[in-house]
A and B are shown apart, each in its own frame.
Chain A
Amino acid sequence: MSRPPIRPPIRPRRALLLPLLLALGLAFLYLPIASLIVYSFNASRLVTVWDAVHSPTLKWYGELFHNSQILEAAWLSVRIAVMNATGAVILGTLAGMALSRFGRFGGRALLAALTTAPLVMPEIITGLSLLLLFITFEQLTGWPAQRDAATITLAHISFSISYVAVIVQARLAGSDGSLEEAALDLGARPSVAFRRITLPLIAPALLSGWLLSFTLSWDDVVISQFVAGPGSSTLPMVIFAKVRLGVSPDVNALATLLITLVAAGVLLSTLLLQRRERSRARALALSQEG
């Protein structure tokens, strides 16, 4: 029998190897999370023992919604994250604009270095130095009288700015300054040019900067530990404290809720992005026809 040997047949061993590696990789990444979700439905009070008789149950979820400590911490975290994200977007945008649009002003290199430094600064150092700063301020001016949500927010803004500035700068670098110049040339004052041209242009960067800042604040433990006072424990701080006293099953339930929220958010943004991409492709096809 003669047949043209176009391509050597795939050996069964090779064919199995790739899916196997994929499965192992995914398991490495997601097995811990999956086990956490499964155990959130466990009826047993002991986290590591599966109570096959009474499981699955939603009792930890019910308990969660009656735990005022956790609910308060979650609400505080949301408030801090929103304020942080908003403040960081405003200040970070100003820094990003200055770095990408103001030409070579004196001290530009210093500003660029200082803006990006918090990205690589160890959190523990940032936290400690902020604590010392707040204490010194209190001694000198009487403010802040106590460390609370305000100090946590300020601390979070101080490192979130960097992320926003980098994102905005990247977005502005993608377009030359001629759009703003064109607006000026057409008679728009600089403030109008910023509002009507620059702002819409960098809107996607502002949105992603806001979301990123929100997330950074939402799950920060280390820096918050330093600058939080009594009665101002954020959600991650509460979880961390609870776990140190021994893992309780309601933490699993809380984590599962958070994961669900994040997954839903990611799914939504992916779908939105896909839709935009598709309408873009359609528009492009249209322009080539016309």
Chain B
Amino acid sequence: MPASSTAYLQLEGLSKRFGQFLAVNNVSLCVERGEIFCLLGASGSGKTTLLRLLAGFETPSAGRLLLDGEDLAGVPPYRRPLNMMFQSYALFPHLNAERNIAFGLEQERLSKRQIAQRVDEILEVVKMAPYRARKPHQLSGGQRQRVALARALVKRPKLLLLDEPLGALDRKLREHTQFELLNIQQQLGVTFIVVTHDQEEAMTLATRIGVMDRGEIVQIGTPREIYEFPATRFVADFIGSVNLFDARLSTASVSVAPAAVDAARGTCLHSPELPAPLLVDQSIEAAADAALWVALRPEKIALSRQPPAQQHNWARGTVREVAYLGDLSVFLVRLESGRELRASLTNSSRECAEQFARDTPVYLSWDSTSAIVGSS
């Protein structure tokens, strides 16, 4: 396939206003063919409205929407070459699984034989052939989800929109379904747009994630980029668990820095909440007195009973709470400044969390490559 300069799905300055409320604010976005793109945001962030704009249930107040080179402005939902899997699945209660799936094909005026053949095919893909004659209320949650998926996929859409696809399933089933969804996507090569508020779902499914906040996309990136290099304080806080510090550029000399850190690239900061200087292996352009933030993930903090060798990136405190989660133990450590930090430890041996019981004095330390500094 020749590489084209325009993306498969292209959103240009898309906005949607409900009265005074700006639900989607100037969103521009490109999605490539075969991608699984996740729109991740809290409820009310505009992600569902964006999906409804794509499906054609809402008309944009401004901006353009192009799919495979075709402008979708003014195209009603029933003529758009895309399909949606609803959060509630929206299965037709009076039709059985098979008839639900056939409904979309019947609208295309295909012959009875073609319809039957394609329904059979997709029932095999979602492994629902034995339950084809059942009505939606006779199916379990996971089975309903598969019928809804099959009903949307059988139309061979250019784009499949999924609104919280795993939201209605219980935890055990979710993990299983997640991988199955990935399997089916790879098998059929359909481009997915997934809306979710669940970051775990977004992380496992997505090739790229767009984080939404108050109608705007604040960062687009791969799951790893979003997690390891959050662009803004909001993203750092929203994705995963994090310790955020207010910090300023340090006036102290960088002589404390070990030779390994290149002074030109690294940044030395000071936070009133930490006893030692913060050294971050990342350069930042900011005024000397600008308010900056530093984000530090709990799993990147090391705990020890002995003071660390390094003179920077450490803190001292006492363990306030220990949450044993099986694979992980999460510690809430109160520093001398009163600030509480979260640190986690993989339980690689059965007793390794025992030495950091409640009220134990501990030292925390981390690498200069672990923290992220930002200004917005």
Q: Is B84 an interface residue (CB 8 A)?
A: yes
What is the bound-complex CA distance between A176 and B56, given in angstroms?
17
Q: A283 with B83: in contact, given A186-B103, A188-B78, A189-B78 (CB under 8 Å)?
A: no
A287 to chain B minimum Cβ distance, whole angstroms, is 4
CB <8 Å contact, B78 and A283 = no
A181 CB contact (under 8 Å) in B86, B108, B134: B86
Proximity bits, B82-123, A CB within 8 Å = 1, else 0: 011011101111100000000110011000000000000000
Most chain B CB inside 10 Å of its own CB: which residue of A181, A186, A190, A286: A186
Most chain A CB inside 10 Å of its own CB: which residue of B90, B93, B131: B90
A86 to chain B minimum Cβ distance, whole angstroms, is 23
Q: Is B349 an interface residue (CB 8 A)?
A: no
Kindly identify, within residues 171 to 192 of chain A, every residue whose CB is under 8 Å from any CB belonging to chain B. Answer: 176, 178-179, 181-190, 192
Q: Is A222 an interface residue (CB 8 A)?
A: no
What is the bound-complex CA distance between A203 and B80, given in angstroms?
30
Kindly identify, within residues 137 to 182 of chain A, every residue whose CB is under 8 Å from any CB belonging to chain B. Answer: 176, 178-179, 181-182
What is the bound-complex CA distance between A283 and B94, given in angstroms?
14
What is the bound-complex CA distance between A283 and B134, given in angstroms?
9
Q: A286 with B107: in contact, given A181-B86, A186-B151, A186-B155 (CB under 8 Å)?
A: no
- A178's closest neighbor in chain B, by CB? B90
Q: Which chain A positions have C-beta within 8 A of B224?
A: none
Q: A181 with B77: in contact, given A186-B155, A188-B103, A287-B137 (CB under 8 Å)?
A: yes
What is the bound-complex CA distance between A200 and B139, given in angstroms?
20
What is the bound-complex CA distance between A142 and B104, given in angstroms?
52
Q: Is A76 an interface residue (CB 8 A)?
A: no
Q: Is A247 an interface residue (CB 8 A)?
A: no
A174 to chain B minimum Cβ distance, whole angstroms, is 11
CB <8 Å contact, B78 and A182 = no
CB <8 Å contact, A283 and B135 = yes
What is the bound-complex CA distance between A241 and B135, given in angstroms?
54
Q: Is A290 an interface residue (CB 8 A)?
A: yes
Kindly identify, within residues 28 to 82 of chain A, every residue whose CB is under 8 Å from any CB belonging to chain B. Answer: none
Chain B interface main SS type: loop
B146 to chain A minimum Cβ distance, whole angstroms, is 13
Q: Which chain A positions have C-beta within 8 A of B78?
A: 184-190
Chain A's interface size range is 20 to 34
Q: Is A255 an interface residue (CB 8 A)?
A: no
Q: Is B4 an interface residue (CB 8 A)?
A: no
- A197's closest neighbor in chain B, by CB? B92
CB <8 Å contact, B137 and A179 = no
- A186's closest neighbor in chain B, by CB? B104
Kindly identify, within residues 134 to 154 of chain B, every residue whose CB is under 8 Å from any CB belonging to chain A. Answer: 134-135, 137-140, 143, 151-152
CB <8 Å contact, B134 and A185 = no
Q: Which chain A positions have C-beta within 8 A of B84?
A: 182, 185
What is the bound-complex CA distance between A181 and B77, given in angstroms?
8
CB <8 Å contact, B55 and A185 = yes
CB <8 Å contact, A178 and B140 = no
Q: Which chain A positions have C-beta within 8 A of B234?
A: none
What is the bound-complex CA distance between A8 and B143, given in angstroms?
52
Q: Is A201 an interface residue (CB 8 A)?
A: yes
CB <8 Å contact, B138 and A183 = no
Q: Is B57 an interface residue (CB 8 A)?
A: yes
B192 to chain A minimum Cβ distance, whole angstroms, is 15
CB <8 Å contact, A192 and B107 = yes
Q: A188 with B107: in contact, given A179-B90, A181-B86, A201-B93 (CB under 8 Å)?
A: yes
CB <8 Å contact, A183 and B57 = no
Proximity bits, B52-78, A CB within 8 Å = 1, else 0: 000111000000000000000000111
Task: Given contact pairs A178-B87, A178-B90, enumerate 16 new A-B contacts (beta carbons under 8 Å).
Answer: A178-B88, A182-B86, A185-B77, A186-B104, A186-B107, A187-B104, A187-B108, A187-B155, A188-B78, A190-B78, A283-B135, A284-B137, A286-B138, A290-B134, A290-B140, A290-B143
Closest 7 CB pairs of A and B: A186-B104, A187-B107, A182-B90, A178-B90, A287-B138, A184-B77, A200-B94
- 13 A-B pairs with CB atoms under 8 Å apart are A176-B88, A178-B90, A179-B90, A181-B57, A182-B84, A182-B92, A184-B77, A185-B152, A186-B151, A187-B108, A188-B107, A197-B92, A290-B139
Residues in B lying within 8 Å of A, measured CB to CB: 55-57, 76-80, 83-84, 86-88, 90-94, 103-104, 107-108, 131, 134-135, 137-140, 143, 151-152, 155
